Structure formats: structure tokens, C-alpha cells
Amino acid sequence: MNNAHDSEILRGLHAAIIDLVDEINRPRRDDRLIEEAGIPLDRALFPLLARVWRYGPIGVVELADRTGRDHTTISRQMTKLEELGLIERKPSMTDRRVREATVTEKGQEMVDLLNAARERLANRILVDWTDEDLDQLRALLRRFADDLMR
């Protein structure tokens, strides 16, 4: 328990985070992944599909909170995903105001293809890593993200 951490470390950590986030935000990365997966999917929609898969069943407002955008934006994108048959929405049984979204079978197939493609790309990029280092990064990053979201 520290009141003040080493500024050097904090700045270095921040720099690494910015580099990582910029890299992940790159539209070209998504294009590459979609190409590797070999599926036809609008790259604007696929991050949302991934999040419905991960956090679903989930409503519009909660998902909007999570991604930091207005709920109306998410509402429209979810409508598109629904029209494409990738997600499914039905009123929640416990709260009929929320229309819970889940991935359909067709959506699940796409998610599977995307996950497999991402794993192939990751293995190509991370050839020099040991499983031990990766797992350490995973654990530390999980803790960090949780603290950030708290």
C-alpha cells in the first residue's frame, strides 16, 4: 500500500498502455482479423458482436455504459446486428423493460471463426513468449483492468 508510486514507472506504464490501445483501436487490425477469419462482416459491427458474446445476455444501456457511448448509438448498431441474424433480442423475464441480447447460432459461428483467427495471429506474433510470461501478463493486466473499472 503506497501513497505515491514511482513516477518513472507510472509514466512508462502509461506509455505502454497508450501504445497498446492505439494499436488495438486501429481499424486495419480488425480488417486483418476479419480477413484471416474469412467471413463477411462489417468491421464497425464486429466489436459489438464480440461484446454481446462476452457479456451477454445484456441490454442496450448496460452495453452502452460499458463502451462509453450513448445508448442510442448502441441501440441502432444492435438493430443492425439483429437484422443480420447475428444476435437475438427478447424481453428479460425479470425486467421487461430490457431487451436482452444474445448471439444466435449463426453469430456464434462467426465468433468462433474470429476467435480461432485471433489465436492464429496471436501465436504468430508471440512466438518468443513463454506461456509463463504470457500468464503473468494476463494476471497482472486482469488485476489492473479490474482496479480501473472499480
3-state secondary structure of 57: coil
Q: Is the Cβ of residue 84 or residue 98 nearer to DNA in the bound state?
A: 98
Bridge partners for 90 per DSSP = 100
* Distance, CA of 23 to CA of 134 (rounded, Å): 18
The rounded distance, in Å, linking the Cα atoms of 76 and 60 is 10
In whole angstroms, give the CA distance from residue 73 to residue 69: 7
Q: What's the closest the beta carbon of residue 29 comes to a copy of itself, in angstroms?
A: 8
DSSP state of 84: T
Q: Which residues ranging from 96 to 115 are in contact with a copy of itself (CB under 8 A)?
A: 115
Closer to a copy of itself by CB, 4 or 93: give it: 4
> Closest separation between CB of residue 132 and a copy of itself, Å?
10
* Residue whose cell numbers read 437484422: 83
Query: Which residue number, 75 or 115, has a Cβ lying nearer to DNA?
Result: 75
Euclidean distance between CA atoms 12 and 17, whole angstroms: 9
99/115 with CB nearer DNA: 99
Binding mask 43-82 for DNA (x = CB under 7 A): -x--------------xxxx------xxxxx-xxxxx---
Tell me which residues in 41-70 interact with a copy of itself (CB under 8 A): 50-51, 54, 66-69
> At closest approach, how far in Å is the CB of 145 from DNA?
21
